Amino acid sequence: MLRRFALLAVYSNLTKIKCSAPIHQHAWLATRHNPPSPRSLTNRLLSTSSVVMKDSQTTEQHDAVRRLLPDLLTPTEGGKWSPGRSLLMAEAHIRQFCSHYSNLDDTAKAKFLLALSQLCGVHHESVYKAFKNMESAQEKEEATLLQSEQRLAQMLTPGYKTLFANIGRLEGGIKFLVDMRADLRTFLHHHQQSLTSEAHLRALRETLKDMLAHWFSAGLLQLQTITWQSSCEMLQKISEYEAVHPVRGWADLKRRVGLYRRCFVYTHSSMPQEPVIILHAALTDRIPSSIKSIVGETRDHNPSKTPLALEEQEDPERITAAIFYSLSSTQMGLRGVDLGNHLIKHAVRKLQAEFPKLEMFSSLSPIPGFRSWLLAEIGRHPKGKNGAILFTSGELGDIQSLAGRSDESEMMTVRRLLSTNQWAQSEKLVDLLEQPLMRLCARYLYAEKHRGFALDSVANFHLGNGAVMWRLNWMGDLTPRGLTQSCGMMVNYRYYLDSTQHNSQAYTVEQKVSTTEQVLGLVEESRLLEQKSRL
């Protein structure tokens, strides 16, 4: 009965849209970063004007789709997909299709994808007929009704899903589809379409996402631990794909896969030499507050103990904390497929087996959207109107007296300082800005929302995994990237293994954020300041 209601709901939406076809989220973390993509629609798409679909090249790509897919498209249906055709396609036709697409330029690829989505999408007339048959079958015996439901489900399956299933059987076929979805994501992101065209392309993208999510489910991925003895090819890719804290050379890479460090990757049998997602972890005796202690040339250590970095071999007795400091998705076409959560859980199990005294698991994470958000907030009241929502009058006065100009307001002084990284070179400014920026960053992470969930993509990822927003760290990342993204701040999301499932459910169902007194105290300061400014 539930299945029947679901089918009816799908059909109801379909009839409302008529010739359109109807996305969801992060997750990834990889949204937060931009790893290199070998086959994306890059500079040319960015530099060209909006693509006009009704031209000779569009017609050419429609004709190409019809020519390349004789097993799918029916001449009597105007060269469109007709359900009921064979699910098997000639391998020669599939290879010819892939070869044709690979040889197209970026603009032609975009038009080819639109043609594919239009000609091989859901066949609406067949859906309507199947729905009518199911309606009439409701008064018949259950076996007849179940057959009608199955028929309707078949009619709701687009033709390109059959095509993708056949491509997936080829050697290199799954990687081809990953790259195709990357092309499609880039095209949709950079170009506006008519509502109908965009609906067709989004339906194509989501079908690909669902199929790739199945092919790249955790049970079909292989966990590898990368060491300095791994292949040069793999080490080179680890270096190139690092999107959070760029690798500075071979010596830096050697440290990141050496003593008291672990590098985990997921690979897939269809692309065994290609890391799908990469997780870096540091093995320490506490939860650090600065990334310099992990990826710097020297590492933080307890002065009362021998520095871990100087030991010639690991001492398992010293390792009580695992710090996940970098998670990089390497394939744009797998954005939105939940891989990071599974990789962290898999890595935790592997580390627990290796180090019996390991009891603390935490991230040391960037806050990539904070400075952009703050500058936008300041821009909403450049002359200081309502500026008290963000800063106290005392804070603004101290900053203005130290770094202000006669021709600018207090808020414009703050905006000018934060728009560059030079303020971090002044000890006085660093001290003056610490409390207001920590307060505002806590508000950004904890209280600023997108559809009820954390606005910050990294926060949304870890909170969705069941982590606790544990500690906000002032001057945790003094690199140019860290200062530009988050005014130098970092945050620890701590994983308490006995409560991750409960925390994850509370966040995903109730949008409840698990956090600590430090963060809540800063958020309360921000709330009281905003409340006071409105009196």
Positions marked catalytic? 365, 462
Q: How far apart are the first and last CA of the chain?
A: 56
Gyration radius of the chain's alpha carbons? 27
Q: Residue 376: which H helix or E strand, with range? A: helix 370-379
Strand partners, 360: 321
**Which residue matches tokens 């200062």?**
483
Q: What is the largest CA-CA distance in the chain?
A: 85
- Would strands 449-450 and 453-454 be described as parallel, antiparallel, or unpaired? antiparallel
Reading the block at residue 477, the tokens are: 């990342």
- By C-alpha distance, which of 348, 342, 336 is closest to 221? 342
321-329 and 360-363 strand pairing: parallel
Amino acid at 346: H
Residue type, 7: L
CA angle 132, 137, 139 (to 5 degrees): 125
Query: How many Cα atoms within 13 Å fall on the side-chain side of residue 429?
Result: 19
Return d(Cα 503, Cα 76) in angstroms, integer.
55
Backbone φ, ψ for residue 449 (5° rounding): -125, 160
Closest residue by Cα to residue 212 from 295, 276, 136? 276
Q: How far apart are CA 347 and CA 361, in angstroms?
A: 11
CA distance 340 to 327: 7
Q: Which two tokens stand for residue 395?
A: 């804070």
- What residues form DSSP beta bridges with 224? 265
| Residue 517, SS3 per DSSP | helix
> Cα–chain-centroid distance for residue 484?
20
Compute the distance between CA of residue 332 and CA of residue 28 in angstroms, rounded to an integer.
10
Rounded CA-CA distance 113/380 in Å is 40
Can you read off the two tokens belonging to residue 96? 């010819």
